[in-house]
Amino acid sequence: MGRRLWRRRALVAACLGAALLLLRPAFENRAVGSSWLGGKRRSPLQMLYDLDQGPRSALAEVHRQRRDLLRRACSHHTRRQRLLRPEDLRHVLVDDAHGLLYCYVPKVACTNWKRVLLALSGRGPGDPRAIPAHEAHAPGRLPSLADFSPAEVNRRLRAYLAFLFVREPFERLASAYRNKLQRPWSAAFQRRFGTGIVRRLRPRPDPDALVRGHDVRFAEFLAYLLDPRTRRDGPFNEHWERAHALCHPCRLRYDVVGKFETLAEDAAFVLSLVGAPGLRFPEPPSWAQAAARDRAARLFRDISPFYQQRLYGLYRMDFLLFNYSHPSYQRLR
C-alpha cells in the first residue's frame, strides 16, 4: 500500500449544479489526525496506516494486494466516466462516531453489516444479532453520504476508513433471484418485478402469473436483465445492480475490499481497525457458502453458453475490478 494509498482520494461529483474535485491528501498532512474523537483514540484509517508502516500480518497483506489490484484494474479498464451525482452516494453509509464509510451491496451480508453499524453507533442493541432485519433496512436508520453537503462529503472522504464487501457476481445474482423472485415470502417483490417479467417475456402467460408474478423462471430473469429495454427503463434494482455501479470503486478510494468468500476474516479485520474486536459479526452457518455455490451451479446448469457469455459481459467489470475468475460451472462454449 505504502504512502501512495494516502496521497490522493478523489471523487468527482456534481452537487448543487457544481462539479467538485474532492481529494484525499497525504496522510501526514491531514488535519484530522489526533483530533478525531477529540484525540481520545486513533481512527480506523490511522490504524490501517500504522499497519502498513510496520510488519504486515498475512491478512493485512491480502488487503493491500486487493487495493492494489483494484487500483490497477481501474486504471486499465475504465475510460472517461461521467461526473458522480449526489444520488450516486446513496449506498455509502456513514458512521461518524467511528470514522467509517461503508458501501453496501445487497446479497453480500449487507443486512448484518447494517446491524453492526447500528450496534456500533448505539442506535440498536449491543448485540447485532438482536436487531431485526426490517429495522436494519429501515430508511433513515443510518445516514448516507448523499445526505451531506459537498463540504461535509469532502471532509468524510478525507478522514474516514472506506470499505465495501463484494461477491462472485453469478453467485450473487443467483442469490438475488432465489431471495426476491423464487421464495414464497417475496410476494411484494414478485408483484413489483415478476409480473413485468412474465408480461414481457412469456408468450402465453397464465392469468394468475400476470397478477402475482410468483413463478418467474431463472432463464426468464436472466433474459430480463439482458433485455436492452430493462436498462432503458432505468437503473437495475439494487439487488442485481453491478457492485461497481453501486459503489463506484474507480471514483471513490476504498481502503478495505472485503469478500463474501472470506467474510468472517475480513469482517474481523474491519472491526479490529475500528477498535471493536469484541463485537461479533453475525456469521452465516459454516455450510451456507458451499450451499449457495451449489444452488448457483444448479441454476446455471440449464442456461446456454451463449446466454452465460452475454451475462458475463454484463457483469464483466465486477469480475475484473474485484479479481474474480469465471465460476467453475460457467460454460462459455
C-alpha cell, 198: 412474465
Report the phi/psi class of residue 94: left, alpha or beta, with left for phi > 0 and alpha for psi in -120 to 50. Answer: beta
pTM of the complete model: 0.89
C-alpha cell, 127: 448485540
239 within 8 A of 107, measured Cβ to Cβ: yes
Could you state, in order of their start, the residue ranges of all structural domains in the chain? 44-169+244-290
Per-residue confidence (pLDDT) for residue 32, from 0 to 100: 41
Q: How confident is the model at residue 333 (pLDDT cuts 50, 70, 90)?
A: low
257-311 pLDDT per residue, tens: 999 999 999 999 999 999 987 788 998 888 888 999 999 999 999 999 999 999 9
**Average pLDDT, integer, range 224-241:** 95
Average model confidence (pLDDT) across the chain: 87
Per-residue confidence (pLDDT) for residue 13, from 0 to 100: 38
79-92 pLDDT per residue, tens: 777 788 889 999 99
Query: 208: how many CB neighbours lie within 10 A of its CB?
Result: 11
Q: How confident is the model at residue 25 (pLDDT cuts 50, 70, 90)?
A: very low
